[in-house]
Amino acid sequence: MALTTSLADLSVVLVEPSSMQANLVTRMLQHQGVRQVHALENGQAALDMMKSGRDGLLVISSLYLPDMAGTELVAAMRADQDLEAVPFILISSETRPQVLDPVRQSGACSIVTKPFNEQQLSRALYAAADYLNPPEDLDVAEIETLRVLLVDDSKMSRRHLRRLLEELGIERITEAEDGKQAVALLQGTMVDLVITDYNMPEMDGRELIEYIRTQSWQAEVPILMVTSEQNMGRLAAVERAGVSAICDKPFEAGSIRKLISESLTR
């Protein structure tokens, strides 16, 4: 499918306090065909520019800024109704999960790890452009009847996933904050697809999947896990429990759309 929003249409807000790093990223962006790059040194300047109402906005930010962290910048965007759908890419050498998890939960398009090359940045750009594009055509009558249970203890993550689902035309979305709530809902609510996180209080994603596959009257329902979990042993346990597919956070919008489309086909 041809992109409605191409890289040339993007208006990139680059938030980077280092002029050397800003120049490097700007050159890479321009080489990829991005025409509009607005390099800023702090988060507040980025928020002010975004509120000017430009089309095709994309934020690329460093983690450590003079006035706030990149995590605080994306949190401020997601809390603003006018900015919550603006794609966000983080560029950082940080690898600690506890530091990066707020960005993953925010619905960021990508986390690009330093040092990086132009190919890695290009992949992140196309993920952002795909997020801005309308989804591929699906059977409207079928998609409108799809009943989805969305399970995640992060309100921000649920809102991001809900937006993607609503873009597909899915309106019948039920939300649960953890596996325990999901179990209660599943006892009396018929669903066609479960989308769940892994790490949640009360009952985590693996325990929820095990319950659905062994105790629920809806044992055959497709289950998609969207998670920032990196422990391969835990993910292997999820696969053994009977998950239909696993998608990492941050995720590409096209990947979620494809998995949902495949679940419809099944």
pLDDT tens track for 223-254? 999 887 778 888 899 899 998 888 888 776 77
Reported as a single tens digit per residue, the pLDDT across 197-211 is 998 988 999 999 999
Q: Looking at the predicted structure, is the pLDDT value of residue 265 above 70?
A: no
Query: In terms of residues, how long is the chain?
Result: 266
% of the chain residues with pLDDT over 90: 47
Q: Please, which pLDDT band fits residue 2 given cuts at 50, 70 and 90?
A: very low
DSSP H helices in 133-193? 140-145, 155-168, 179-186
DSSP-derived letter for residue 137 is P
Contact at 8 Å (CB) between 94 and 67? Answer: no
pLDDT of residue 233: 86
92 bridge partner residues = 113
Which ranges in the chain are annotated with CATH 3.40.50.2300?
7-132, 140-265
Identify which has the larger pLDDT, 180 or 140.
180
Give the CATH fold of the 7-132 domain. Rossmann fold (3.40.50)
Q: Looking at the predicted structure, is the pLDDT value of residue 156 above 70?
A: yes
Q: Looking at the predicted structure, is the pLDDT value of residue 177 above 70?
A: yes
Residue 189, C-beta contacts closer than 8 angstroms, at least 6 positions apart: 147, 149, 174
Q: Which residue has the tokens 């989308």?
A: 195
Give the Cα separation of 249 and 230 in Å (integer). Answer: 10
145: tokens are 């009847």
Task: State the average pLDDT over residues 156-169.
Answer: 84
Among 4-8, 92-96, 111-115, the minimum mean pLDDT is found in 4-8
Number of H helices, E strands in the chain: 11, 10
Q: Looking at the predicted structure, is the pLDDT value of residue 193 above 80?
A: yes
Class of the domain covering 140-265: alpha beta
Give the Cα separation of 79 and 65 in Å (integer). Answer: 19
Give the Cα separation of 65 and 16 in Å (integer). Answer: 7
